[in-house]
Amino acid sequence: MEQQLHGGWIEVVCGPMFAGKTEEIIRRIRRLEYAKKNVIVFKPFIDDRYSQDEIISHNKTRAKSISIKKAMEILDYVKDNTDAVVVDEAQFFDDKIVDVAEYLADKGIRVIIGGLDRNFRGEPFGPMPKLLALAESVTKLTAICVKSGRPATRTQRLIDGAPAKYDDPLVLIGASESYEPRAREFHEVVNKPVRIKK
Give the active site residues: 89
Q: What angle do CA 22, 28, 29 make, to 5 degrees?
A: 85
Q: What angle do CA 87, 90, 66 make, to 5 degrees?
A: 40
Provide the 3-class DSSP secondary structure of residue 54. strand
Q: Kindly write down the DSSP assignment for every residue of 100-165, as one continuous string.
A: HHHHHHHTT-EEEEEEESB-TTSSB-TTHHHHHHH-SEEEE--EE-TTTSSEE-EEEEEETTEEPB
Task: Classify burial at 195, counting beta carbons within 10 Å of its beta carbon; exposed 0-12, middle 13-18, buried 19 or more.
Answer: exposed
C-alpha–C-alpha distance, residues 122 and 154, integer Å: 6
